[in-house]
Structures are given as C-alpha cells and as structure tokens.
Chain A
Amino acid sequence: GQNIDQPTEMTATEGAIVQINCTYQTSGFNGLFWYQQHAGEAPTFLSYNVLDGLEEKGRFSSFLSRSKGYSYLLLKELQMKDSASYLCAVTVAGNNRKLIWGLGTSLAVNP
C-alpha cells in the first residue's frame, strides 16, 4: 500500500525558519511534490523533487532522500502569509501523474 506521513500541526514565529517533514512508504516511488493550500483556496505548487538533494527556490527549499523515504520543506524568513496547510504528495511508477497525498501540515505563523 501507499502511506505518507506528515505532522498534523506546527507553529512558528514570524522571521524564523521552520522545517516540515514528510515520510513515505510507497511501491515504486517516482517523485515528490510539495503544495501550499490556504483555507478555502486551491492547492498551489511549491516544489518537485525526483533526485536526492536540496532544491532551493527563494525562501522555500525542499529536500529528498529516496533511500530513506524522506523529504522536508524548509521555509525561511517566515511571514504571516505563510500560515497555510502544506501538503506532501508522491507519484509512483506506472502513473507519474497520479498524486498520492499526505494529510497535510497546518502551519501557524505567529507575530
């Protein structure tokens, strides 16, 4: 079966750094996505990792270790607008378009 785990909730302070972890157990891993979703809105794409290592994009970075079945999303210089749900999703061999999702991590950024 497919299993993706993320912490349910996290809190952090404006200006700080936060790391959101995601572990997965899937058959035939292909790639891993991170999406951001504000309440009542569409999920929006943040990053995609297929190879081991760190991908940096502005204040957001995403890391993947295929051998450990582990990823994290790193958010730097947190802003209030970063309060949202962060969703980890993977694709597996056979259909690299079908996203398999975790429950998401609700991040609250406090002043």
Chain B
Amino acid sequence: EAGVTQFPSHSVIEKGQTVTLRCDPISGHDNLYWYRRVMGKEIKFLLHFVKESKQDESGMPNNRFLAERTGGTYSTLKVQPAELEDSGVYFCASSQLAGGSLEQFFGPGTRLTVL
C-alpha cells in the first residue's frame, strides 16, 4: 500500500512569490490534515478535511494560506504571497473515517524556505 506522498520535497522561493504544495493521501482515507513545523517550534495543526469539506481550519495562520481538496482526493496548500515567517516543514497526514483507527499516517513533508 502506498503511503502519503507530498510534492515537492523542497521549495525555495523569494518573499512575495507563490508556492503550491501538494499532498496525496493513502487511497481510501477520507480524513486529510495539514501541519507545519517552524524551526525550533512544535508541529502545529493547520487544518483538517473530511473528504472535500473543511472540518476544522482553526490553525490556518492567515488569509495568505488557501487549502483545497477538490474531489476529496489529493489536496493542495497555496501560500500567496509568501513571507519569511512561512518557512518551515509542511506535513500532510491522512486517516480513515470515523470508526476506524485514529492513527494518522504522515507524509515526508515539504521543506519550504522563503528568502
């Protein structure tokens, strides 16, 4: 079974540019999550999709961040325009729908550097 995949693995952009991160969850997982780890800080929750619907987006930093999951399969996280403080590792995770295990399966992350 393929795991959670993320693309790209690394991205270096300049302040003010736009970046789109992609996450492909494990097939059949209706729950999809985005997290971010800024250097020296703990991993922080950004948002949670159930299928194509945003269940909880309480962790999204501001309106420069837009997450989508059209069709309830893969998800994208767009940062526009990027700021220096957006640098960090963005993790995606997926899990089964309610009734299954609460275990979240993580992707390897996208390391974003904003210069």
- Interface pick from A53-61, A67-75, A94-102: A94-102
Q: Which residue of A lies closest to B43 (CB)?
A: A101
The yes or no answer to B108 lying at the interface (CB within 8 A) is: yes
> In chain B, residues 46-66, which have Cβ atoms closer than 8 Å to a Cβ of chain A?
48, 55-56, 58-59
B35 interfacial by beta-carbon distance below 8 Å: yes
The reply on A17 being an interface residue by CB < 8 A is no
Closest partner residue, chain B, to A43 (CB atom): B106
Closest to B109 in A: A42
Judged by a CB distance under 8 angstroms, whether A78 is at the interface is no
Q: Give per-residue flags for B23-58: 1 if the beta carbon is below 8 A from chain A beta carbons, else 0.
A: 000000001010100000111110010000001101
B43 and A41 contacting across the interface, CB-CB below 8 Å? no
Q: How far is the CB of B44 from chain A (nearest CB, A)?
A: 7
B35 touches A99 (CB 8 A): yes
Using a Cβ cutoff of 8 Å, how many contacts connect chains A and B? 58
The answer to the question of B103 belonging to the interface, with a C-beta cut-off of 8 Å to chain A, is: yes
Judge if A87 is at the interface, Cβ distance under 8 Å.
yes
Query: Per-residue CB proximity of A60-97 to B under 8 Å, as 1/0?
Result: 00000000000000000000000000010101000111
Instruction: Determine if A95 and B56 form an interchain contact, defined as CB atoms under 8 angstroms apart.
Output: yes
- Are A42's CB and B104's CB within 8 A? no
B4 and A96 within 8 A (CB): no
Complex partner residue of A42 from B41, B44, B58, B108, CB under 8 angstroms: B108
User: Are the C-beta atoms of A43 and B48 separated by less than 8 Å?
Assistant: no
Question: Taking the nearest CB of chain B, how far is it from the CB of A79, in angstroms?
Answer: 22
Whether B7 is near chain A, meaning CB under 8 Å from some CB there, is no
Contact B42 A103 (CB under 8 A): yes
- Do B42 and A45 have beta carbons less than 8 Å apart? no
Is residue B87 contacting chain A, with contact meaning CB distance below 8 A? no
A11 at the interface (CB under 8 A from B): no
B102 touches A101 (CB 8 A): no
8 shortest interchain CB distances as A-B pairs: A42-B106, A101-B43, A101-B42, A45-B103, A42-B108, A43-B106, A103-B42, A98-B45
